[in-house]
Chains A and B, each alone.
Chain A
Amino acid sequence: MAKKITIEPVTRVEGHGKVTIHLDDNNQVVQSRLHIVEFRGFERFVQGRPYWEAPVLVQRLCGICPVSHHLAAAKALDVIVGAGTGDGLTPTGEKMRRLMHYGQMFQSHVLHFFHLASPDLLFGIDGDPALRNVIGIALQHKELAVQAVMMRKFGQEIIKATAGKKVHGTGAIPGGINKHLSQEEKDQFINGADPLNIDKMIEWSHGALEFFKGYHKANKDLIDKFAAFPSNHVSLVRKDGALDLYHGVLRGIDTDGKKVVDDIDYQDYLKYIDEEVRSWSYMKFPYIRSLGKKDGWYRVGPLARMNTADFIPTPLAQKEFEIFKAYTGGKPNGMSMHMHWARLIEILHSAEMMKELLNDPDLYSGELVTKGTKVKEGVGLLEAPRGTLFHHYRINDDDQIEMANLIVSTTNNNEAMNVAVNLAAKQFMNGQTEITEPMMNAVEVAIRAYDPCLSCATHALGKMPLEVKIVGKNDKVLDRKYKNDD
């Protein structure tokens, strides 16, 4: 009898989602879907608000990466207040925002790798669920757990120094920033007692990469073959092709690495990207227009950025980038689990960037804000930890927002996550008569690789219940199982 398996909620991701897997009479997977079950409505309720509120208001989308929304909205409003796109700000304005962004990238990536993903690597996909979580890491890999906490703290302190507080600050305002960095803050970040100084952060970032590379060597099958598939990739790159997480032009490559979209001013993103709505998910499905709905879906995030960028403009990360690229002979890398590898390279890059910026005198003096001739519409893009983030606003004659369109990083990965779920489900469940907890976790591991932020940070620790329903053809529930059911 055909079955439908529901994994709800998906754990160790930000936000809430569920997975349904349909099995046929022979227990073969016929369809798998990741459903995003939350409805947020930010695009609607921001309408009518004064435009300068947007960076502070929309960042409430998320508690993990609010800085990304804060800055993407501010970048869109830079255009509206006539301050140009990204490179039009004063040196202080742009560099303070960059520091905030790299602090955010650093702490968010650290959170994902150490707190959410590493339990699967250290304890195995089929490890004891009681241990396979951040508490298990703290109990059995104390040194790693301490690094995770302190690295995250460092990133959060950078955010606090630039945005005013660690979560949901107000630093970026249309046309610039509202503060300088103080010399005391600089001293703290550069010369602070171990481990809270930038050199230690770079050292630990390097250590985390070495740990992953060692793990990869010993677990090639899992890292290279699990949920691996070819796809298009999209990201911002600097005008000269360098990895740039704050500003650049839009670049998209196909499965062969051919540039299908390149050197695009993101103010024109709608000419190149469109979104499809499907009835079973609140999350839309973006695609590259020129490739069509069927073939135009793409991946964003660390893996995509490694695929689209030509080089990384910091020395240590560039060395790692070269090793990463050499692994696939320079061809686009479609291995979902390599997302972790790419993410760790970005952690190192972010740490290097923070060090460079902290030593830049523009952070400590200079004009904070610049403005020019106001226009009615603006688009702000940046590379958030999870991928390209689009914010688009239009205002009316009275300075109220009348239209907002947000394409959030995870939305860009929607189709890719569904493909990954399907592959994992087939790999682990095809032909199985009994569905076990490790099989379900395998599906979650595939989703987790993308570090999806399904809404704001509402994930729970430890014993989050996982419900599996086996449903007959007539939708009658035949069996029901709970993970962690006492």
Chain B
Amino acid sequence: MKILTCPMNGPRNIDEFQSFGPVRAEPDPDMTADADWSRHLFRAENRRGMVVEWWRHVPSNYFFLAERDLVTNEIIRTFDASERRAQS
């Protein structure tokens, strides 16, 4: 069983979690052309390598971020969303 370390709940089986896919830029709906909006909706990061993704711990409904390697499936680190806001 693969273990994912939740920033709030600690190490748990990965089947307790739900993946919400790679973090995307959040465009302003009023300022975005249709083509860019389509891009935002349908084209997610899929390159071989590191990706930062949204995950949710289902029982506690806690959303957080994880940095993971899409080839080796290694989870590099997990962190609270506030850390991302602090960076940007």
A, B: real partners: no
Residues of B within 8 A of A (CB): none
Residues of A within 8 A of B (CB): none
